[in-house]
Amino acid sequence: MPARTLPNFEDDPLTNAIKPPPDETPKERQRRLRSEQAAKAVSDSIDKELESQRASERNGQKPVKILLLGQSESGKSTTLKNFQLLYEPKAFRTERASWRAVIQLNVVRSIHLIFDAISKAEKTSSGSQDFVVDLIASPELLKLKLRLAPLLQVEETLIRRLTPAGSSETEATLRIGRDMSYSERTKNYMKEVTINSAVQWKGSFGRRDVGRSSFDADKAMNWEDADDPGRILHACSEDMIRLWEDPMTKKFLEAQKLRVRELAGFFLDVLERVTAPQYIPTDDDILKARLKTLGVTEHRFILSGKNNISRDWRVFDVGGHRSQRAAWVPYFDDMDAIIFLAPISCFDQVLAEDHKVNRLEDSVKLWTSIVSHPLLKNTNLVLFLNKIDILQSKLASGIKIADYVVSYGDRPNDYEHASTYLRRKFSGILKEKSPLPRVFYCHFTTVTDTKSTKYILSNLKDMLMRDNLTKTNLIA
């Protein structure tokens, strides 16, 4: 009988993948060990939390679970923030310092977008004498570009604070700045800074000596921080305002067909306020702030219904990038409801990750896959046809929906007819594709509007509380 050969662990691919490189320097080793320690702490924290959840569910009542779903920039994170604002307002008072940094990053990247439009105009000006004349006649823009160069340093500082040391997100983003010229770097504006949902980025800002129980946002801010990026932003404030208000800037943006006011994280109309020395974000500012996340974000709330019976609520936000959608269904088949956000203003836009795919078409396809999925047949579906304010603005400006949605035909190009058409489109898909008959819950929304969104979420809460109590036989 042939002798058994023990495996050679030196050739084990897993061992080879995790062992340190042979030429690792002491500095690199320290960085690697810190990164591994941080990763283990996050992993242990997640394991502990999961075990706590399982124990709680074994000993108590099943929580109400809601999943927020939709493509990137559909309004999922804003809806989650609305849940916080409505049912956990104290959280906003302890997170303003963190959102202040996000808003600062939004401002810097909006300025980069303007410079990108100018750079593109310079490169394509050979085919248009008008742009050549415009650039020569506007030396002020070139001066502003030089004077606002310190914003690159601000961006790097903010990215480092928002992402953990040594993380791939930080290094990949900052490498763009080190290895590229300014004009090359601005081309990468649309490659957003991305935060892993497992990273506790909100703890990186504010004073360390102020506990989370403090409700005073001003005390939570570290105004003595010599490295506060807000100092440079304030020093550059007048130049940024001058750049934004320059008629030539508007011309360059129009030439690139960039409607920057419609972009998430737009604050250029309030630059003087958000770059003030001791600026504290308002609730509306936080709702409008844009920060892209990877993975699943979970928030918990204890809510009471009209009968004063309390329930544990869990709201999940799943990343909207196409690469993040495929594997989520098996893990969320026990949801009480899915809030599906379809940004219907995006009928004339394409996906950032695939310029061949229309964003409205992508929402329709994703909605179809959700309503037809057998694992979700017993889940309540609530449709938010979102960003109706932008839809109204686009249609009023003369952008024709029929140019992008062939089936719209010769219907009038106004909000009333467009919204009715889209509502019927999504309703028809639910009726045709759902494995079981379902009620069509649909709302036209602007989730950055706290007043209207509060009303919708309150009604949703009452509906789900009633449904949950019925399932547990607590009410008839």
**Is 228 marked within a binding site?**
no
**Is 387 marked within a binding site?**
yes
**Is 268 marked within a binding site?**
no
Beta strands of 387-453 (E only): which ranges? 441-445
266 neighbors 244 (Cβ within 8 angstroms)? no
Phi, psi dihedral angles at 337 (to 5 degrees): -155, 150
Closest CA to 394 of 407, 403, 383, 381: 403
- Dmax over CA atoms of the chain, in Å, equals 90
* Unique residue bearing structure tokens 């920039």: 73
Rg of the chain over Cα atoms, rounded to whole angstroms, equals: 25
Q: How far apart are the first and last CA of the chain?
A: 71
421 neighbors 411 (Cβ within 8 angstroms)? yes
CA 467 to CA 213: how far, in whole Å?
34
**Is 290 marked within a binding site?**
yes
**Is 232 marked within a binding site?**
no
If you ran DSSP here, which 8-state letter would residue 373 be given? -
CB burial class (10 A; 0-12, 13-18, 19+) of residue 399?
middle
List the structure tokens of 183: 């004009």
**Is 288 marked within a binding site?**
yes
Number of neighbours of residue 217 by Cβ within 10 angstroms:
18
Question: Pairing state of beta strands 380-386 and 337-343?
Answer: parallel
**Is 425 marked within a binding site?**
no
Number of neighbours of residue 106 by Cβ within 10 angstroms:
24
**Is 389 marked within a binding site?**
yes
User: Which residues partner with 340 through β-bridges?
Assistant: 69, 383
**Is 292 marked within a binding site?**
yes
Q: Which residues are annotated as a binding site?
A: 287-293, 386-389
Q: Which residues are annotated as a binding site for GTP?
A: 287-293, 386-389
Q: Which residues are annotated as a binding site for Mg(2+)?
A: 293
